[in-house]
Amino acid sequence: MDVELNVTLLTLGGFAELHKYRYLYFVIIFTLYILILCFNSTIVYLIWTCKNLHEPMYIFIAALLINSVLYSMIIYPKLLSDVLSEKQTISYPLCLFQGFSYYTSAGSEFLLLAAMAYDRYVSICKPLQYPVIMNRITIYVCVILVWLIPAFEIAVSFVLYSNVKLCSFTLTGIFCNNSFYRLQCVPSVVISVYGVVMLINVAFLPMLFILFSYIRILRISYSCCRETRRKALKTCLPHLLVLISFSCLSCYDVVIARVESDFPKTARLIMTLQLALYHPLFNPFVYGLKMKNFLNT
């Protein structure tokens, strides 16, 4: 068999007992995919059509939910196809493109949460300057940059990956993520170092900025009256819940692919599915409740 064909074709080996539960997998994944599209799109539509929701915070929420839809569209169509296929394979260039899109979306999530934290910080700590700082131009620039910055940084990473020599052609996951790091014949020092730098830029630094912003918010709000503290906690809690949820899943995604371990295949599948299934549904649930309270006031 031609070696070049082997190099460009990868097997997705992360499915457990697929031959037994093929149709059950398909029904569950397809149902959740439809729910993700419907829930996220509905809230985005409400924000778009309700003029009293045309505020910076809700524009960022809409961007976050659009990001969840894009995040799901990157994974689900191929995942549903693989569940019904006899062989779960993907070409290496398509795998790189899926990974590029997946991590661009993940990086955008952290930066959007950082933008939302800054919006809350200005709103609570500098209320008189809020209309000037968080004007329409600032919001649009932020929304554009949160997608462009991760796209540029991750594009460099996948240009590096496109030139590596592969000695293994089976991914441990069910879609293309960090698991293709272990396909290299010789791990690239350049890719490893750049991966750490990129992780710091698109995840670690935004998380530090978010935590710093919320610490400042809590310090200032607790020096005010009880009503101010209650409003500050109410507006910050949903963002913190989403941040904690996404950070934990992202840590798993990074660590499990880079660390050699005999992690059970079924447990790996369940954790990987949470990345694709749980989080895109968690966002509209959390922010949907917040919007319900806002619309009822």
- In the numeric block, the tokens 């929420």 are attached to 61
Q: What is the pLDDT of residue 263?
A: 65
List the domains of the chain with CATH numbers: 3-287 (1.20.1070.10)
* SS3 at position 137: helix
**Pairwise CA distance, residues 59 & 107, whole Å:** 18
Q: What is the pLDDT of residue 6?
A: 43
User: How large is the angle between the packed helices 136-161 and 92-125, nearest 10 degrees?
Assistant: 150
**Pairwise CA distance, residues 276 & 288, whole Å:** 20
Does residue 100 contact residue 158 with C-beta atoms inside 8 Å? yes
Q: How far is CA 176 from CA 55, 129, 276, in A?
A: 36, 44, 12
Token pair in block for residue 141: 């620039």
Whether the CA torsion 54, 60, 65, 69 is positive or negative: it is positive
- Per the DSSP assignment, residues forming a β-bridge with 288 are none
Question: Would you write out the chain's pLDDT as a tens digit for each of its 297 residues?
Answer: 344 444 478 888 777 667 777 888 889 889 989 999 999 999 899 888 888 888 888 899 899 999 989 888 888 898 888 888 888 888 888 888 888 888 898 889 899 999 988 998 888 888 888 888 888 898 989 999 999 999 998 888 888 888 888 887 888 778 887 777 777 887 778 888 888 888 888 888 998 999 888 888 888 777 766 666 676 677 777 778 888 878 877 777 777 666 555 666 677 777 777 777 777 888 888 777 666 555 554
pTM of the model: 0.86
Q: What is the pLDDT of residue 148?
A: 92
Q: What is the pLDDT of residue 115?
A: 92
Q: What is the pLDDT of residue 66?
A: 92
Mark out the alpha helices in 162-225 (DSSP H runs). Answer: 189-199, 205-221
* SS3 at position 29: helix
- Per the DSSP assignment, residues forming a β-bridge with 90 are 10
* SS3 at position 172: coil
Q: What is the pLDDT of residue 4?
A: 42
**Pairwise CA distance, residues 76 & 201, whole Å:** 27
In the sheet that holds 170-171, the strands lie side by side as 89-91, 9-12, 170-171
**Pairwise CA distance, residues 126 & 186, whole Å:** 52
The counts of H helices and E strands in the chain are: 10, 3
Please state the φ and ψ torsions of residue 126, each to the nearest 5 degrees.
-135, 60
Q: β-strands 9-12, 170-171: how paired?
A: parallel
Instruction: Tell me how far apart the terminal alpha carbons of the chain are, to the nearest angstrom.
Output: 68
